[in-house]
Structure 1
Amino acid sequence: MIEHKFSSISNLSKYLQVSRTTLYKRAKEHNITLSGFYSDEQLKKLSGVQYMNTNNEHVKHSNGHIEQRNEHFEQEITFLKKQLSDQNKHVALIINQLKEKDNQIGLLNKNLDQAQQLQLIAEQRLTETKSTLIEFQEKEKNTKKGFWNKLFG
């Protein structure tokens, strides 16, 4: 049995490529005292290397667990894909609604333009009619002569 010596917990954690927190947890799990001297077996336990059972029960259990997790992940992926598809449909619907609103705004702007042009034309005609009416009234005033004025005028 070979013993390995480490001057600090940090050096041991670097050697095993685990964090110090993980090192303390594994030492507690396996009742290993972190004294500075460690056997090969203790180093393997601290590094997280596990021995396989000869009857492969552990491997079978792990494989079953992995298959369950894979199935669970596939279900989650399917669910997320469906959600993404639903959201894409919703976004497409919103985009279509926005396009329709843009078209409506365009039509409203066109109608507003036409209304303003018609109002301008109506104001111009009203101004022309008013000036014509004033001219007519002035001519009428000048041409009106009284009865006596017509006889003797």
Structure 2
Amino acid sequence: MILLPAESVPGTGAVLNPFVIVDDASGFLDFVSEVFGVPETLEARTPAPDGKLIHAQLRLGTVDLMVADRLDGWPARPALLQVWVNDVAATLARGVANGATIVTEATPFYAETTLGRMLDRWDNLWWFWAPAPGRPDPLPAWEGGPDVVFSTLDETLKALAKR
């Protein structure tokens, strides 16, 4: 096996942990903390002498979301992040209350799940999933079902590419 087994990862880290580079890392940390109700891992906060963060993180479930400020000459590196939540609609509402825009409203999806997406003000695209036991799968778009899951993603990514 190429990957280190999860039980061998030092500390409480996961095998894969996303890292985003944004402008205003402190604001981004506040946003994530508010939307998901998780605190920043304060002992990980590492500011440079100018106050910009070269490392910070929050723990979402078993994964550390790591963040840094974009430094001179660095490009921003927003992310596509998938998060399992208890209530997609409520999570989207918390995101909107903290400055995000909805990309895909809470929508029935396959395998008894609900899907929703939002774009935060740092251009990170968040996918939210929640279990929906017992709910039948929607009809596929090619069989006359809704195309909202693909079309909203397609429209958003094409709009971002034009910026």
Measured against the shorter chain, the TM-score band is under 0.3
User: Per residue, is there more helix in 1 or in 2?
Assistant: 1
Larger Rg belongs to: 1
TM-score (normalised: structure 1): 0.25
User: Per residue, is there more strand in 1 or in 2?
Assistant: 2
